[in-house]
Amino acid sequence: MGNRISKKIFLNINDNKLVTLKNPDNLKYYSYIAEQKEKGNRQILITTKQMIKILEIYIYNSNAEIMEIIFLENDADYKKEIDELVTKLNKRNIPFANFIKKIEFLNSNDSVDIQSIEFNYRLNDLIFIVKLYLNGILYISDHGEEATNNEIKKLIMNIGLLN
């Protein structure tokens, strides 16, 4: 796989649109967030329900495969159970609806939230790998400026539809 680029998703309060900006290194993160706030860009959080919806969109529309789901709570039993479901889902041995029911059950009954999702999908001859964190940080395969920017716009549009 090629390189990945890192972006941070914000909501611009002036036009109420989602925007992606270069993600800073960790040493300058909080000053970067404060700087963006002064420019009218509010940090967003992507909820577990939104992450599930994003997976649904990409699985149904782009035949995506889930690579990893990480929960905020580090519970080995949850992780093992979800990893087994992901394997079955990727092999198309269970319907996506069954997978969603389990995630929603964990989220509503045990307050287990998703920290990040990672999935891949093919577009023409390119394989895109996307990792999305609940704090709006996005990593995506870099396949050249035009193709990568188009895919980021598509992802942001899908997220925007969920807000």
- Distance (Å, rounded) from C-alpha 39 to C-alpha 95? 44
Tell me: pLDDT of 1 over 70: no
What backbone torsions phi and psi does residue 111 show, to the nearest 5 degrees?
55, 40
Please name the residue that has the structure tokens 């709006």. Answer: 136
Tell me: pLDDT of 127 over 60: yes
Tokens representing 4 are 């990945």
Single pTM value for the model = 0.87
33-90 per-position pLDDT tens digit: 999 999 999 988 898 988 998 999 899 888 899 999 999 888 888 889 899 999 999 9
Tell me the pairing of strands 114-123 and 126-133.
antiparallel
Q: What is the pLDDT of residue 39?
A: 94
| Beta carbons of 5 and 139 less than 8 angstroms apart | yes
Torsional sign, CA 27, 128, 136, 110: negative
- List the chain domain ranges: 4-43, 48-136+147-162
How confident is residue 107, by pLDDT bands cut at 50, 70 and 90? confident
- CB atoms under 10 Å from CB of 143, counted, come to 19
Tell me the pairing of strands 114-123 and 137-141.
unpaired
| Beta carbons of 95 and 74 less than 8 angstroms apart | no
- CB atoms under 10 Å from CB of 72, counted, come to 13
